[in-house]
Amino acid sequence: MEVLVNLIMVSMIDPGIIPRNDQEDGVSNGARKTGVTINGVNIKLKYCQICKIYRPPRSCHCAICDNCVEKFDHHCPWIGQCIGLRNYQFYLTFLITALVFFIYIFSFSCLRFHQRILQIGTGLFGMLGNSPETLALISFSFAAIGFLGGLACYHVYLIAINETAYENFRQRYVDSRNPFDKGVFSNIKEVLLVPSPPSRVNFREEITRGGPGAAVVI
């Protein structure tokens, strides 16, 4: 139940979409980049030609969702949603609860498999015909534990150094200091204990064709 709740939360919550600028930007091609200084490190702010905004630090435009997302981590194809500032906590909780769930399935499937061997008095190959469903559960849950366990460990590491998966993949701080790294305990507090900010997008706002913020879906 906990796995399902977290899956629904991470897939339904706004990940941190940055509203588009629907007005004419008037930004020349030579001014597509600007910068800010954070903790003594210069951070380049790129201009998004689709959203017509300067993306805040750690933000990225998702080519799949076609939105700029604040503190963009990655786009999860399994969930069908971007993971960003506002839903990362639910994503991590989903990973951990799913991992615990499959460990539970694997443990009790192995116990059931052992009991069946003692009852029937046969070996592994003899069980293929007697309890194929148990073997299937053991195999599937074992693979899921390996995948989810590796992914969970990777994100725990990212939290400890205060990097997003996107930043780590692009090796953003290989040649420079990470200005967002405040130490392990402060990083954990910032990522897991600080409440998510309210959404920048009013999904209940009435949209009129051609008006400010209008979006026409065909």
Query: Where along the chain do its domains lie?
Result: 2-193
pLDDT for res 29: 55
Confidence at residue 212, expressed as pLDDT on a 0 to 100 scale:
47
Length in residues, the chain: 218
What are the φ and ψ backbone dihedral angles of 49, each rounded to 5 degrees? -70, -20
Residue 203: the pLDDT is 76
Tens digit of each residue's pLDDT, the chain (218 residues): 789 999 999 999 999 999 998 776 656 555 667 888 888 888 889 899 899 999 999 999 999 999 999 999 999 998 999 999 999 999 999 999 999 999 999 999 999 888 887 787 666 666 666 778 888 899 999 999 999 999 999 999 999 999 999 999 988 888 888 999 999 999 999 999 999 999 988 777 776 655 444 443 43
Active-site residue numbers? 76
Whole-structure pTM value? 0.83
Q: How many other CB atoms sit within 10 Å of the CB of residue 118?
A: 8
pLDDT for residue 41: 86
